[in-house]
Amino acid sequence: MKLSKKLTMSFIFSIILSIFIISLISNSMINRKFESFLVKERENRFEQIRKDINDLYLKNSYTLSQRDIANYASLEGVYIEIKDSNNQTQCHSSKGQNMGMHRKMMNNGHMRMMQNISAGNYLERSFPLLDGKNIVGTLIIGYIDNSYLTESALIFKNTLTKSFMVSGIITIILGFGISILLSKGLTNPLVNIRNTAIEMRKGNLEYRSKVNTSTTEILELSDSINFLGETLASQANIRKRYATDIAHELRTPLTTLKSHLEAIIDGVWEPSEKHFSILMEEVERLSDLVEDLKNSFNAEEVKINTKKTQFNISAELEKIIIAFIPLYNEKNFSIDYSLEENIEIFMDKDKFRQIIYNLLSNSIKYLKENGIVFISLKKHEEKVVIKIKDNGIGIKKEDLPFIFERFYRSDISRNKETGGTGLGLSIVKSLVEAHNGIVEVQSEYNKGTEFTIVLPIEY
């Protein structure tokens, strides 16, 4: 069912329900008040009749004839009977005559609705006729219960019901209009957001939803779908760039391999050990690249694949450094370290090794003559701080913001033919962030570089 139809229907339903409940409650309340008012009125009337008859009775020396009371009874629409002090009926009006008035009302076309109501029971009430304080007779008034009430109450009730019906119809018409406006105000922006989602599904990721509404939730929904579009578009861009970067990176070693192999086939190059080892180097570079690519997923993906254990990070770091010493010595570089002992950490050990391995490999690649690398490890407020500082070639200011991006390599690095892939630091960043840590760099061109890694002891 469409939202607008649903809203309109619920709106109309609640209007009808409230009118029904209001009319029911007010009808019964007014009825009660009205009836008690009319009963009081009747009592006053009977008291008046009693007074009039009493005066007449005293004036006529305790004797009244049918003639005296007939007109009076007929006028008042009641039955009147007078009994003397011995309780003997002195006179009475005709019952038929009194009831006739009631019947006359019943037959009146104007009062036709009264026929739906029972005429009520015939009742009699007796009142003492007094001379001073002495009871000198009895007055009996016969009437049809409800006969007065029904007449006035019904007119009133009918008017009330009519007014409720008229106001009900007006409210329903107004409500219908308001609900259409209201539901339009809600559904129009929703339709707009739905169309945006459809466009995005079709691949049109630049399409944005524009809604004109003051409803917070709808505004938020529209913002969310726009944000989703932006994220999807930027991810699509990243994927595209990633694919071109990979293709570009793979092309260089493959072209070299191809040209060397062609040279061997054409007999330009002898198939000697020297030439094969050049080919081998290119193959190794390719396999390094593939290995790096495998690890260059983003932090969220790494997080899923971490196997955390508790281990002594001081001992582990020292082991890695010791393993690197021969590589530094080979190139006449030196490596020094100062590690706070026995710091325990809870993280993925292999990932930690890879972080340090990548940073130390970089420092070897980018050191100059008399190169020194200094590594420190400290514990600071439930965090482990590792610094790797070198006095190498440094990084130019303009390169600094990009070095953690995939495939980013400075011109110097490219020219130096370090054999780097431009993935090392992006992998370091992903791994550190996957452990809720941060990695920072400080560098001065031609002077040296310092990487700082902060890892929470437990996350």
Measured from the CB atom, the residue of 9 and 290 that comes closer to ligand ADP is: 290
Q: Which of 54, 90, 209, 362 binds ligand ADP (CB under 6 A)?
A: 362
Contacts 24+ apart (CB under 8 A), 166-173: 167/19, 168/15, 168/16, 168/19, 168/23, 171/15, 171/19, 172/12, 172/15, 172/16
Exactly one of 93, 363, 391, 430 binds ligand ADP (CB under 6 A); which one?
Answer: 363
For 384-428, give the DSSP string.
Answer: EEEEEEE-SS---TTTGGGTTSTT---HHHHHTT----S-HHHHH
Q: What's the CA gap between 223 and 13, in Å, rounded?
A: 33
Cβ-count burial 163-181 (b if 16+ within 10 Å, e if not): ebeeebeebeeebeeebee
CB of 268 to ligand ADP, least distance (A): 31
Q: Is 309 exposed, middle or buried (0-12, 13-18, 19+ CB in 10 A)?
A: exposed
What's the chain's length in residues?
459
Residue 456 Cβ vs ligand ADP, minimum distance, rounded to whole Å: 24
CB nearer ligand ADP, residue 93 or residue 449: 449
- In the list 390, 432, 435, 453, the residue contacting ligand ADP (rule: CB under 6 A) is 390
In Å, how far are 25, 26, 65, 130 from 73, measured between CA atoms? Answer: 38, 36, 13, 20
- The distance of closest approach from Cβ of residue 354 to ligand ADP in the complex, given in angstroms and rounded to an integer, is 12
Residue 333 contacts residue 367 (beta carbons within 8 Å): yes
CB 311 within 8 A of CB 344: yes
Q: Closest CB to ligand ADP among 311 and 408?
A: 408
Q: Which helix (H) or strand (E) holds 5?
A: helix 3-59
Site residues (CB under 6 A) for ligand ADP, limited to 401-440: 403, 408-410, 413, 420-426
Is the dihedral angle over the CA atoms 44, 50, 53, 57 positive or is it negative?
negative
Which residue's structure tokens are 């932090």? 299
Which residues are within 8 A (CB) of 274 and not within 5 positions of it... i.e. 6 or more apart?
none
Structure tokens at 199: 């466009």
Q: How far is the CB of 303 from ligand ADP (least distance, A)?
A: 21
Shortest reach from residue 241's CB to ligand ADP, in Å: 16
Q: Tell whether residue 137 is a contact of ligand ADP (CB under 6 A).
A: no
Q: Of 347 and 367, which has the nearer Cβ to ligand ADP?
A: 367
DSSP string of 204-226, one letter each residue: -TT---------HHHHHHHHHHH
Q: Which is nearer to ligand ADP, 196 or 426 (CB)?
A: 426
Minimum separation from the CB atom of position 433 to ligand ADP (A): 15
User: Cβ of residue 257: shortest distance to ligand ADP, in angstroms?
Assistant: 19
- Name the minimum Å distance from CB 240 to ligand ADP: 21
Q: Is 395 in the site for ligand ADP (CB under 6 A)?
A: yes
- The one-letter amino acid code at 50 reads R
Q: Does 317 bind ligand ADP (CB under 6 A)?
A: no
Pick 38 or 373: Cβ nearer ligand ADP = 373
Given the rule CB under 6 A, which of 31-39, 208-216, 295-303, 392-400 is the region that contacts ligand ADP?
Answer: 392-400
CA–CA dist 233, 227 (Å, integer): 10
Q: Output the CA–CA distances (angstroms, integers) from residue 354 to 276, 316, 396, 416, 429, in the order listed.
A: 30, 12, 25, 24, 11
Closest residue (Cβ) to ligand ADP? 420
Choose between 137 and 424: whose C-beta lies nearer to ligand ADP. Answer: 424
Between 199 and 245, name the residue whose CB sits nearer to ligand ADP: 245
- Show contacts of 360-365: CB within 8 Å, 24+ apart: 360/320, 360/321, 360/324, 360/388, 361/424, 362/420, 362/424, 362/425, 363/388, 363/390, 363/392, 363/449, 364/324, 364/327, 364/328, 364/331, 364/333, 365/413, 365/416, 365/418, 365/419, 365/420
Stretch that binds ligand ADP, among 45-53, 162-170, 334-342, 360-368 (CB under 6 A): 360-368
Interface size with ligand ADP, residues (CB under 6 A): 23
Residue 209 vs 426, nearer CB to ligand ADP: 426
Residue of 366, 375, 377, 437 interacting with ligand ADP (CB under 6 A): 366
Q: Which stretch binds ligand ADP (CB under 6 A): 20-28, 84-92, 261-269, 358-366?
A: 358-366
**Contact residue for ligand ADP among 384, 392, 430, 439 (CB under 6 A):** 392
- Kindly tell me which of 308 and 396 has the beta carbon lying closer to ligand ADP: 396
User: 196 vs 413, which CB is nearer to ligand ADP?
Assistant: 413
- Residues forming the site for ligand ADP (CB under 6 A): 362-363, 365-366, 390, 392-395, 399, 403, 408-410, 413, 420-426, 449
